[in-house]
Structure formats: structure tokens, C-alpha cells
Amino acid sequence: MIEARALSKRYGDLVAVDGVDFAIGRGEVVGFLGPNGAGKTTTMRMLTGFLPPTNGTAVIAGHDIFAEPLAARRAVGYLPETPPLYPEMTVASYLRYVASIKDVPRRARREAVDRALERCGLGAVRWRVIGTLSKGFRQRVGLAQAIVHDPPVLILDEPTIGLDPLQIQEIRGLISALARPRDGAPEHTVILSTHILPEVEAICRRVILIHEGRKVVDAPLEELTRGGRRLEEIFARETTRDAARVGARAGEGAG
């Protein structure tokens, strides 16, 4: 469903992502881990078509992001780190707008919006202006925006950041529900990035860990945690191999 081929991004001399390869099959839920500045967001932005890779390419649902950019984008639902909301619009009119720019046919739009509202528990606030909603609700609107066109691939960048414990539970439940099969077939393939390791253990079946722009771990969660090993230990071991480098990186900004 999602295939990254030697995906690389350079900003001048800075190498943000350096030849990342992976293939994610239909219906998989993959946790995308890495310290701040590791290149998670950059990789996700390349997969969604927001940033063009410097080298390499990606194939989304059979569409190469360079050869068929529009088809590739149509197959992706993307929730960026900050949900892309227009504060002055109502929830319903915003979702209707997103459905229309995502090429949902005119006749199917109302149904698509209703379904997204229902799945994200937004029915009660559909006529509210987005700017007046709480952070938890905004995050839900962000998620509704990502699924309104029922895309086969979902890319979620830190979907639970800044939420309270209860809201985190809700959003996690929502993501798990999205990944469950509907009518016998797996509905969405999900990549989600996060810093919260228990979140990965709760929803993901596979882990990809990147560090300094390179993939360092790519394995099923089961295999990694076999014998009672904890994800924290693996994360710490893989990202602190070179203590000096860690010291130098300490002051860097977000990735």
C-alpha cells in the first residue's frame, strides 16, 4: 500500500532523511518512531506529496508520487502535526469543502461528511465554528478531515499530541477502529508517528524507528517485545549509540 524507495530529503547541507526504504502492506498499522528531528515529519510530508523528495520516490496505493501525483494524493488521508483547520468555518462546511477538493463526487459528499462526523463523534458540534472548539474537538475535526474521502492510506503525524488523557484514549480508540476491517476487507492502512511508546503498543502491529534520517529498526511489535523486552529500552538503545552525537543534537529543533 505504501512503499518508500530510497527516500531522501536534503535542505542545503543538512540531510533530513537519508535513503529510507520500507513497504507497508494493506491493513497494516505502523508506528513511526524517532527522536525529535529524526526526520519523521519530513518523511511523512514526502509520502503525502507536500514535500518533493530530493532523491528516491514513494508509491502510494500503486501510484508513484512523481508520475501520478494527483492519484497518489487522492489515496491519502493526512493529519499533519497541527490540524489544517480554517477557524472561521463551521465543522460541516469545512468537511464539505475538504470532501470537494479531495474529489468526492458531488452526490456522495453529504454522505461522506455525515459518515466522517459520525465516526469522529462530531455530530453534536457540526454547526459550531471551528475556532470556538476545544483542542480535543479540533483534533477530531482534523481526523475527520483525513478520512472524509475514505482513503485507503492514512498518515497521521502525532495525532494525540497536546491532548488530555481522556481525549488521548478517545483518539486512540478512533484510530484502532479505523484500522479494523470493514465488510471483510482491511479498510485503512495507517502510519502514525508518535513519541508516546505505550500508544504504539496499544494500536500498532509494526514499528519503524528512524534516527538521524535513517531507518534503524523495522520489525513487528511482537518480535521486538518478545521475552518481555520493553519498547523504551529499544528506543533508547537505538538512538543513543553515540553519546557524543546525542550531546551535539540536544539543542536541535523539531523534525
Binding site for another protein (CB under 8 A): 11, 45, 48-52, 70-71, 73-74, 76, 78, 80, 82-89, 93, 97-98, 100-103, 129, 145
Identify which of residues 135 and 229 has a Cβ nearer to another protein in the complex.
Answer: 135
CB of 87 to another protein, least distance (A): 7
CA–CA separation, 47 and 72 (whole Å): 9
CB of 73 to another protein, least distance (A): 5
Identify which of residues 20 and 76 has a Cβ nearer to another protein in the complex.
Answer: 76
Cβ atoms of 77 and 142 closer than 8 Å: no
How far is C-alpha 78 from the chain's CA centre?
Answer: 6
CB of 84 to another protein, least distance (A): 4
CB of 11 to another protein, least distance (A): 8
Identify which of residues 67 and 246 has a Cβ nearer to another protein in the complex.
Answer: 67
Amino acid at residue number 109: R
Identify which of residues 78 and 137 has a Cβ nearer to another protein in the complex.
Answer: 78
Q: Give the β-pairing of 153-157 and 76-79.
A: parallel
Strands (E), the chain: 2-11, 14-24, 29-33, 55-60, 63-64, 76-79, 153-157, 189-193, 206-211, 214-220
CB of 106 to another protein, least distance (A): 10
Identify which of residues 131 and 198 has a Cβ nearer to another protein in the complex.
Answer: 131
CA–CA separation, 91 and 123 (whole Å): 9
CB of 142 to another protein, least distance (A): 9
Residue 74 burial (CB count, 10 A): 18
Q: Please, which contacts does 102-111 make with residues 24 or more away whose CB atoms are closer than 8 Å?
A: 102/74, 102/148, 102/149, 102/151, 103/74, 103/149, 104/148, 104/149
Backbone angles phi, psi at 24, to 5 degrees: -120, 125
Identify which of residues 100 and 176 has a Cβ nearer to another protein in the complex.
Answer: 100
